[in-house]
Amino acid sequence: MAADTSAIRTVEEARDALAEVLEFPERPRQIISMMEKIMYCRTPEARRFLVDALDGFIRGGLEQMRKKRREALEKKQAEEEAARARELEAQIQETSAQRREESIQAAAPTDGGGDDDGPVPIVIVPSQDELKILEELGTQLDALNLAAVAAEIFPDLKTKCQPWEAARAIFLHEQEAREFLLQGARLKDHERATMLAPAWDALQRLIEASRPEWARRADEIKSLVDEHFSAHPPVGGGADASVMFQVLLMRDDYVKDMLEMIGGDRASALEAVGGLRGKLDQLLEFEAERKE
C-alpha cells in the first residue's frame, strides 16, 4: 500500500490516520507508516496526537517508555558520576601538591598528624531512590499524555471526567485501558457513530473503578499546589500548577500523606509539594535534553 502523503491538519484527520496505521498487522510497518503520517502533520495539535499515539499504542506503551527512560537516566547518572570522579581526583591531586609544597616550607608535625597527607577517598553513592522517583514521575507524565490522546478518541471524556482521573486509570490499569483505547482508535470517522459506544462504556467503567476514595478532597490538593506556585512561580521549561496537581493525584501515597499534613501541618505539606516539584522540574529538564 502506498503511503498517504496528504497533509494532516486537524486532530480528526490525525485520528483517521491512526486508524489507517493500525490496520497493518505488523508492528514495524505500523511504526514506519506512523512516522510518515507524522511528517505530513501541519499543526502542532495533530502532530502531538500522533507522536503520543505512536509511543502509547505502537511502541509498547507505558512499560516500554519506562524502560527507555530508565536506561537513559542510568546512562546520565553514570556520566555524571564519572565526571564527578574526575573532578574530585583533580582536586585531590591539587591539594596533595599544595601540601607537599607546604611541607617543604614548614616543619613536619611530630604528633603523627601527617596522616592528613594521605589520599582522600572518593565515595560515590548511586542515587537509586532518586532514579526510581524520576522514573515513576516520567510514567505518570506519559499517562497524562496518553489520557490526552484518549480524550480525542473519546471526545465525551473531556466533559465526563477530569484529565487526572483518566490518566490515573491508564497509570494503574494500563493493559485494560490500552485495549479499550485501541478499540476506539481503530475506528474510522464514519464508523465512530455506531461502533464507538462499547469501548467508551468499558473505559468509563475502568475510570470509575479507579476513582479513589479521597476524590472528593482533590480540591484541597489543588489549593495546596496553587498556594505553592503562587509563592514559587513556574520556571522556564519546568512544571506548572496544572501538571503538578494532576501528577500528584495519580499516586495514593502522595495524596494521603499530603491530606494528613494539610490537617495538621500545612507548612510541611507545602514543603512536600516543593520537594516533589523539584524532582518534576529535574525530570522535565532531562526530557528536554533527551529530545535535543
Q: Residue 275: inside a domain, yes or no?
A: yes
Grid coordinates of 110: 611530630
Q: Is the pLDDT of residue 211 over 70?
A: yes
**62, 139 contact by CB (below 8 A):** yes
| b/e 185-199 (16+ beta carbons within 10 angstroms → b) | bbbeeeebeeebeeb
**8, 37 contact by CB (below 8 A):** yes
Considering the domain architecture, whether residues 168 and 222 belong to the same structural domain is answered as no
Q: What is the DSSP track for 192-259?
A: HHHHSHHHHHHHHHHHHHH--TTGGGHHHHHHHHHHHHHHSPPPTTS--HHHHHHHHTT-HHHHHHHH
- What percent of the chain clears pLDDT 90, i.e. is strictly above it? 59
pLDDT of residue 109: 53
pLDDT of residue 122: 44
List the domain range (segments joined by +) for residue 223.
215-291
Q: Is the pLDDT of residue 241 over 60?
A: yes
pLDDT of residue 230: 96
Of 37-51, 77-91, 100-114, the one with minimum mean pLDDT is 100-114
pLDDT of residue 120: 45
**176, 206 contact by CB (below 8 A):** yes
Considering the domain architecture, whether residues 228 and 252 belong to the same structural domain is answered as yes
Last residue of a domain, one of 190, 210, 230: 210
pLDDT of residue 105: 62
pLDDT tens-place string over residues 97-136: 676 666 666 555 555 444 444 444 444 444 677 888 889 9
Question: pLDDT band at 77, cuts 50/70/90?
Answer: confident
Mean pLDDT score across all residues of the chain: 85
Q: Residue 5: inside a domain, yes or no?
A: no
Q: Is the pLDDT of residue 3 over 70?
A: no
pLDDT of residue 188: 86
Q: Residue 112: inside a domain, yes or no?
A: no
Q: Residue 109: inside a domain, yes or no?
A: no
Question: Considering its fold, how many domains does the chain have in total?
Answer: 3
Q: Is the pLDDT of residue 180 over 80?
A: yes
Q: Which of 182, 288, 188 is nearest to 238 (CA)?
A: 288
Considering the domain architecture, whether residues 160 and 175 belong to the same structural domain is answered as yes
Considering the domain architecture, whether residues 274 and 224 belong to the same structural domain is answered as yes
Most confident of 109-118, 123-132, 216-225, 262-271: 216-225
Query: Quick count: other Cβ atoms within 10 Å of Cβ 46?
Result: 24
Last residue of a domain, one of 179, 210, 241: 210
The helix (run of H) or strand (run of E) holding residue 131 is helix 128-153
**246, 146 contact by CB (below 8 A):** no
Q: Residue 76: inside a domain, yes or no?
A: no
What is the distance between the alpha carbons of residues 132 and 201, in angstroms, rounded to a whole number?
34
Grid coordinates of 245: 496537581
Which amino acid appears at position 143 of this protein?
Answer: A
Q: Residue 127: inside a domain, yes or no?
A: no
Q: Is the pLDDT of residue 256 over 70?
A: yes
Of 50-59, 79-88, 150-159, the one with minimum mean pLDDT is 79-88
Considering the domain architecture, whether residues 253 and 266 belong to the same structural domain is answered as yes
What is the distance between the alpha carbons of residues 127 and 141, in angstroms, rounded to a whole number?
21
Q: Is the pLDDT of residue 259 over 60?
A: yes
Range 194-210 average pLDDT: 94
Q: Residue 195: inside a domain, yes or no?
A: yes
Grid coordinates of 84: 564527578
**286, 134 contact by CB (below 8 A):** yes
Considering the domain architecture, whether residues 198 and 247 belong to the same structural domain is answered as no
Q: Which residue has the higher pLDDT, 290 or 223?
A: 223
Q: Residue 96: inside a domain, yes or no?
A: no
Torsion sign, CA atoms 45, 46, 49, 52 = negative
Range 149-176 average pLDDT: 93
**147, 177 contact by CB (below 8 A):** no
